[in-house]
Structure 1
Amino acid sequence: MQDIAALIQQPEAWIALATLMVMEIVLGIDNLLFISILSNKLPEGQRERARKIGIGLALILRLALLATVAWIVQLTQPVATILGNEFSWKDIILIAGGLFLVWKATKEIHHHVDPSDHEDTMVGAASVTFGGVIAQILMLDLVFSIDSIITAVGMTPHVEIMVVAVVTAVAVMLLAANPLATFIGQNPTIVILALSFLLLIGTTLIAEGFGVDVPKGYIYAAMAFSALVEGLNMWARNARLRRENAAR
């Protein structure tokens, strides 16, 4: 690894760090949404602990993967060919994670639309366990971590910069976890919107696993626009409620 004192004197290193930090924080939103929605299904006393463990696992996985950068790069090498299409371990992991995310988001949406139809399934409140939630968070942490680190490797060759960017992104996730989870839990329409985002992210992961290049900017622009529209809807509902209360 290059000497840190020499590295901090290079302007391009600071530019790479700033760019990578922003990218890691944006990519961390996907992970944080999943953690927030799953942790909100636990009893209130266990939710914050589940979020901290989930985010802590994300940090451990990312740092562990950074320690094996040479191996991570090899994950992009083709290992199988199916119907003329080559697949690497990264592709296989993205497809598996995407399928899980699509399945989970679909089940959760169905549960929120018709809770009585799912009382005996794994998404029913009675069957949710702390260990089960952590296991699901760990699985998606792995998928998001591999995608995040491979993207980071493509942006800079300096592991020191990657470490700082990853730790910063996880710190932001930790700070935002409780406020985001509380906001999602207090606004039912936000839950459906967040689950729709996860459904979109899962579909994107599957597409990328099959070699389809989906520009992340389009995905996050669509998510930002949807969040803006929902914010306007919430503002309009609150304004209407204030008028109704004032008229009584």
Structure 2
Amino acid sequence: MADLLTFENTGNLLMLLFLQAVLGFDNLLYISIESQRAPVAQQKQVRFWGIVIAVTLRIVLLFAMIRLIDMLSEPFFVLNWDGVLTGGVNFSTLVFILGGIFIMYTAVKEITHMLATDHIGQATGDKTGKSAFQVIMLIVFMNLVFSFDSVLSALAITDVFLILAAAIILSGIAMLALADWVTAFIQKNRMFEVLGLFVLLIVGVVLLGEAGQAAVHGAEAMGMAHEAAEDMAIHVFGFELVPMSKSTFYFSVLVLFAVEIIQSRYRRKLDAERKSEARRQIRT
């Protein structure tokens, strides 16, 4: 135990906690939105068990990846459709592509559902008819997709399993503490659910971008020269699929929320002016 409580491991743990906090925002947002698709009486339990099971499986994923990192990193297929689709494909590529497509599909489906009129008057939690089990499984699945990126990033900081597991468990506790608050905020401010869905749409694009470089990182991890590894980058119609930086992602999110806040205040101001004008006209 004394070997674990070193200055280096303590610093790595703090760095990992910060990393989990930064990368966990979109995960927590998905959990908060998706849990509302379950029956109202079971939504709190859905969030709890979804996070607990997902954190447990994240530790299992971490344990497996420490031992199988070489197999997961090595490109097992090379796309060679010149001018259309080229680049390497490894396990990370498939995870990011499937996860990105699924998140984008979920966001678009829910946005479309909001624009429909046949759900008006239904209670929150009954909008899609999903059972609590179905929602928990979706939360667990998407948590693992989000985890893949954070676990790979964590392994770049340290390979001490207990330090990595501690960071995952502590981040899971933080998610349990915040999930109900985020969900309650979204329920009280319904317009922010729309923003949340558009954020998830951006997250899907981010994951697709990560897929473009996944094989490059894998090839470099296998010891391939940087120039040769760059050939593994995915190109679509001659354009390289480049990941969006985290700073760009969070700046986009902040802009979306700033626009919504300013627009809401401006709308209230216009409504107040219209009411004031209407009262003046009545008096005259």
Same-fold status (TM-score > 0.5) = yes
Q: What is the root-mean-square deviation of aligned Cα atoms in Å?
A: 2.8
Aligned partners of 1:187, 1:42: CA distance in 2, in Å?
19
In 1: Cα distance, 2:136 partner to 2:70 partner: 28
Q: Which residue of 2 aligns with 1:80?
A: 77
Q: 1:208 is matched with which residue: 210, 219, 229?
A: 210
| Equivalent of 1:171 in 173, 184, 195 | 173
Contact 1:34 1:198 in 2 (8 A): yes
Match among 219, 223, 226 for residue 253 of structure 2: 223
Aligned residues of 2:78 and 2:88 also touching (Cα < 8 A): yes
Q: Does the CA-based 8 Å contact 2:119-2:127 persist in structure 1?
A: no
CA change 1:242–1:178 in 2 (3 A) is farther
- 1:56 maps to 52
Does structure 2 retain, via aligned residues, the 8 Å contact 1:79–1:86? yes
Q: What is the one-letter code of the residue matched to 1:21?
A: L
Counterparts of 2:13 and 2:35 in 1: how far apart (Å)? 31
Q: Conserved in 1, the CA contact under 8 Å of 2:16 and 2:167?
A: yes
For residues 96-135 of structure 1, give each alpha carbon's deviation from its aligned partner in whole angstroms, at most 9, with x where no partner exists. 01000001100111111224289xxxx9825322222122
Match of 1:22 among 18, 25, 28: 18
Q: CA deviation at 1:20?
A: 1.2
| Structure 2: unaligned runs, 5 residues or longer | 81-85, 214-241, 280-284
Structure 1 residue 41: Cα displacement: 2.0
2:37 equivalent among 33, 36, 41: 41
Runs (5+) with no aligned partner, structure 1 = none
Counterpart of 1:95 (choices 79, 97, 102) is 97
CA offset at residue 177 of structure 1? Answer: 0.4
The one-letter amino acid paired with 1:103 is: Y
Q: Taking structure 1 as reference, are residues 199 and 73 closer, same or farther at Cα in structure 2, changes over 3 Å only?
A: farther
Q: Distance in 2 between matches of 1:110 and 1:36?
A: 19
Counting matched residue pairs gives: 239
Q: Which amino acid aligns with 2:246?
A: K
Cα deviation digits, residues 67-115 of structure 1 (max 9, x gap):
2212245312211111241111011011001000001100111111224
User: Percent identity, aligned pairs only?
Assistant: 30
Deviation at 1:161, TM superposition (A): 1.9
The question of whether the paired residues in 2 share the 8 Å contact of 1:72 and 1:150 is answered with: no
Call closer, same or farther: CA 1:37–1:200 in 2, change over 3 Å: same
Output the CA distance in 1 between the equivalents of 2:161 and 2:96: 23
